[in-house]
Amino acid sequence: MPIAVAAAPCADFTFEFRAEPSFLVPSVVRLQTHPRSARLSIEIGDKLKENLALDRDAADTFCARLIDALAIEQSGPPSIGLDGIEVHGNLKMTASPDVNFSFWSPDRARQPRDFAVVESVFLLLESTTPSCLLNSYLEQLAAYFPFGITVRRFAGPPLTLRVYGSLTIDNIDDFDRIVDSLPPNVPLVMDMTNFNGMGTLLYESFRPLLSRSPAVEWKVSPQAARQLREVGVAASALEMPRGMYCAGQPRRFSRR
């Protein structure tokens, strides 16, 4: 069943999205609008609160998208499990009753409404430029939802692939297509500083990168370093930055 929400213009509204991942610090996204402005903030546990610049038009676009999402028919049973993410949230508009929602690890096909709610939130976040720390957190949070392969591509220079979260057997074909699409004979940085791990069946997909010229520049997390050595990357070619690794200027958040 869809969640009842008025189709009136958003006007002024407040929105809250609480995410409680199994193996990540919980967070809260809050959005509050005023007649000609909007305020977006994200809290990560009790460690970080960051205010993000957001114009009113982007807030209104998000509100309209969220209302459409909440109206989606959903007949499938709710997901339930141990390893995943629990979400709670609400939308409060001046001219409509409050709308509350909660769900666990939505599947794109079986829980289309819940997935569309999450998609609307991440599309909003993709209109912002968070700090390095928040960018990295949002990548890890995004990996809890079925958005697809966790690889971001930056044109550079240098051309950079940022592989974050984890890769599984389901990602092999997509990762192979990404590697095949890389232009030859240009510098390439593989940024795996926010990488959690991969199944060993992915090793073969990484091996074409070993023969690139010029050689790939590897920026890695400890887990990525261990697995890349198993792939065949020389230990001397792996750079493990201390602390957060953020190349260049602050980047707009994205999942791709």
β-pairing verdict for 27-34 and 13-21: antiparallel
Which amino acid belongs to residue 64? A
Where does the chain hold its CATH 3.30.1560 domain(s)? 13-131
Name the pLDDT band for 3 (thresholds 50, 70, 90): low
Distance between CA atoms of 250 and 244, rounded to whole angstroms? Answer: 13
Q: What angle (nearest 5°) sits at the alpha carbon of residue 71, between those of residues 67 and 72? A: 125
Going by C-alpha positions, the residue among 117, 88, 140, 116 that lies closest to residue 152 is 140
Q: 226 CB contacts (<8 Å, ≥6 apart)? A: none
Query: 122-144, pLDDT tens digit by residue?
Result: 999 999 999 988 999 999 999 99
Place of tokens 């794109």: 108
Which of the 8 DSSP states describes residue 202? G
Q: Identify whether the C-beta of residue 49 lies closer than 8 Å to the C-beta of residue 31.
A: no
Query: 61-75, pLDDT tens digit by residue?
Result: 999 999 999 999 998
- Position 255 pLDDT exceeds 80: yes
Query: 205-251, pLDDT tens digit by residue?
Result: 999 999 999 999 999 999 999 999 999 999 999 999 876 666 556 78
Enter the pTM of the model: 0.92
Where does the chain hold its CATH 3.30.750 domain(s)? 151-239
- Asked if CATH classification 2.30.30 holds for the domain at 13-131, the reply, yes or no, is no
Which amino acid belongs to residue 98? D
- Asked if CATH classification 3.30.750 holds for the domain at 151-239, the reply, yes or no, is yes
- Position 148 pLDDT exceeds 90: yes
